[in-house]
Structure formats: C-alpha cells, structure tokens
Amino acid sequence: MTNSPSRDEIKIGTSVLIVQKQDQRTGVLTRGVVKRILTSNNSHPHGIKVELDNGKIGRVQKCVNTEKS
C-alpha cells in the first residue's frame, strides 16, 4: 500500500491495522494498539514498523479512528 500513515501520524496508544511479515503476500491485517514505534524514518514505502501491545510486529497500513461522536 502506498498511502500508509507517516511516523508523525502514529503515536503510542494509537489503534492501527498492521500487516505482519508472514501476511504480506495475502494482505491479512491485524488490529492492535501501538506499544513501540520501530522505524526511525518519518516514512517507509511499506509502512512504519511498530510493535503492538500484544507483542505482534508489523507495518502500519491504516490508523483506526476510535473516537465516538
């Protein structure tokens, strides 16, 4: 995906959808909350790499809006 969020859009505690390494071919997304941001650059062609609070690691494809209005 080319429209993945940049590093400055991703904060600790943000709810995101990531693609894990083993799911890159199928595109299966995993939902979770960011625990650590692993990519130091502001952008990456395949998405910013993060660790979720459940320990899974992958590249962010989308930030999920969890605000209730």
pLDDT grade for 50, boundaries at 50, 70 and 90: very high
Answer yes or no: is pLDDT of 59 > 50. yes
Whole-structure pTM value: 0.87
Phi-psi region of 13 (alpha: psi -120 to 50; beta: other; left: phi over 0): left
Q: How far apart are CA 8 and CA 23, in angstroms?
A: 25
Q: Is residue 1's pLDDT more than 70?
A: no
Architecture of domain 7-63: Roll (2.30)
The pLDDT score that the predictor gives to residue 65 is 77
pLDDT mean across residues, the chain: 92
**Residues in contact with 3: Cβ distance below 8 Å, sequence separation at least 6, in sequence order:** none
* Whole-number pLDDT of residue 68: 53
